[in-house]
Amino acid sequence: MCGIVGYIGAEQAAPILLDGLSRLEYRGYDSAGVAVFDAQAGALAVHKAKGRLQVLSDQLHGGATLNSTVGVGHTRWATHGAPSDVNSHPQVSRSGKIAVVHNGIIENYTELKAFLMAQGVPFTSETDTEVVAQLIEYFYDGDLLQAVGRVLRRIQGAYALGILCADCPGQLVAVRKDSPLILGYGQGCNFIASDVTAILRHTRRVGYMEDGELAVLTREGIQCYNHLIQPIEKEITTVDWEIDAAEKGGYEHFMFKEIMEQRFRVPCEVENDVNCAGLAESVSGAAKGCDPALILTVGTGIGGCIVVGGKVFRGSGNSACEVGYMHMEGSDFQTLGAASILSRKVAEWKKDPAGTWNGYRIFEEAEKGDALCVRAIDEMTDVLGMGIANICYVINPEIVVLGGGIMAQEEYLRGRIERAVEKYLISSIASGTRIAFAKHKNDAGMLGAFYHFIQKQTKKDEIR
């Protein structure tokens, strides 16, 4: 899970991007970056830094050093490639003409990367996102929107994209499929963001992108398109709540919010996909009628939230997955338990090139009896069980719901995870905690339907 923000207008872009990213840092904490168009140089200027957002902000003096009126920003939760300056977003094409920020996963990036490398395209990072930037440039012939459309017909997975092109400094392109992305409509300026709180200081008029949609932003307006690149009209919603109310998580006073955070070790925000997944499962899914409930989305990375008394509490300030002190042996839960690490581990053990293995192939081979694949899965489920047990000691949930990509392997994993949790829990707690898999397909797929239900059918003060 990563955070995206984009701006095009008349003001200096970098300070706006950094401010927006500061409200999205719960979505990613290991690195951050921005790309802006430098009119004097006639090229994109990209700045990235490993570590918390403050590292990047200090390097850029709060954005004051970048004189540009259009740009994109990103805060990262590492999946493909370790946290580093090189692997941070934005990722750029070989010429530096295209810059891309991305939230999600490109499932067929290894095949696309192999194709591009065969055409002589060099790669500098370990990320799946660089494939998108390189592929856009490969197809680009002067029409950015058409090039993006050709790329979308070839990539598979879940993604929200923000795209800049040095040849088109008056445009910002946005794309959404299975990852949240909103449009912000300002006066002489427009925005994209993963979360409405990132742009609420600047505009209250927002539009929610649907799966398969594209948008071209200019200073003057936003034109949306369907997956066939046909123009469509977008419904605009006016946000009628204050940003401090959002940041207070629905509580009347910050002091009460802080008390709740100290009790559960978790901040209280609703506007992100993992939390919406938790709310969905508690209202109409596997956790319906259960209180408290722990919801974990496990796939390329791991996210978590807790639902207590109808209120959603997300992960700690450092990571959405460090719920209830799941920090273990010098490495956090996401690093130890994520499926992306599973793939990397199997490739290392088998001495295969990076990207050779993915979760689906590992489970397929494990079912056939491949000892290394079975061992890797057992290690992952053991860590998952340890992490769940740590949370259970803090909140003693009635149910633990597992969603996300892990659901594809429910039959294979259910017994293993249950045994791993029992291994680390005392019997009195283990007997009162049920393990279940999510009713909804996955957190991202659920989000499109349920997020709009929340926005349109439920009052804000009822869901906080």
User: Element (H or E) spanning 34, and its range?
Assistant: strand 31-38
Q: What is the pLDDT, as a whole number, of residue 96?
A: 95
The CA distances from residue 367 to 86, 360, 375, 407, in Å, are: 36, 11, 12, 16
Contact 33, 55 (CB under 8 A): no
CA–CA separation, 6 and 164 (whole Å): 10
Residues paired with residue 35 on neighbouring β-strands, in sequence order: 46, 72
Q: Is 308 helix (H, G, I), strand (E, B) or coil?
A: strand
Sorted by sequence, the CB contacts under 8 Å of residue 101 that are 6+ apart come out as 2, 4, 6, 33, 35, 72, 73, 74, 89, 90, 91, 129, 161, 162
- Please give the model's pTM, rounded to 2 decimal places: 0.58
Phi-psi bin for 338: left (phi > 0), alpha (psi -120 to 50), beta? beta
Cβ atoms within 10 Å, residue 1: 30
Q: What is the pLDDT, as a whole number, of residue 446?
A: 40
Q: What is the pLDDT, as a whole number, of residue 340?
A: 62
CA–CA separation, 249 and 311 (whole Å): 9
What are the pLDDT tens digits along the chain (464 aa)?
A: 688 999 999 999 999 999 999 888 766 567 899 999 998 899 999 999 988 888 999 999 999 989 999 999 998 866 667 778 888 889 999 999 999 999 888 889 899 999 999 999 999 998 889 999 999 999 999 999 999 999 999 999 889 999 999 999 999 999 999 888 999 999 999 999 988 888 988 999 999 999 899 999 999 999 999 999 999 999 999 987 665 555 544 444 444 444 444 433 333 334 445 556 666 677 777 888 887 888 877 765 566 777 777 666 654 333 333 333 333 333 344 444 455 677 778 888 999 887 788 777 888 888 889 999 999 888 888 878 887 887 777 677 888 888 776 667 788 888 888 888 888 887 766 677 888 888 765 444 344 334 434 443 433 334 33
Tell me whether residue 304 is exposed, middle or buried, using C-beta atoms within 10 angstroms of its C-beta: 0 to 12, 13 to 18, 19 or more. buried
CA angle 206, 210, 211 (to 5 degrees): 150
Q: What is the pLDDT, as a whole number, of residue 187?
A: 95
295: its two tokens:
């919801």
CA–CA separation, 337 and 313 (whole Å): 21
Amino acid symbol at 347: A
Q: What is the pLDDT, as a whole number, of residue 23?
A: 81
Sorted by sequence, the CB contacts under 8 Å of residue 78 that are 6+ apart come out as 30, 31, 87, 301
Amino acid symbol at 40: Q
Contact 280, 381 (CB under 8 A): no
Domains in the chain: ranges and CATH: 3-238 (3.60.20.10), 253-463 (3.30.420.40)
Residue-wise DSSP of 75-122: EE--SSS-SSTTTSSSEE-TTS-EEEEEEEEETTHHHHHHHHHHTT--
Size (the chain), residues: 464
User: Element (H or E) spanning 284, and its range?
Assistant: helix 273-284
Q: What is the pLDDT, as a whole number, of residue 121?
A: 95
Q: Is 189 helix (H, G, I), strand (E, B) or coil?
A: coil
Q: What is the pLDDT, as a whole number, of residue 455?
A: 42
332: its two tokens:
């956090």
Look at residues 73, 176, 78 and name the one whose alpha carbon lies nearest to residue 127.
78
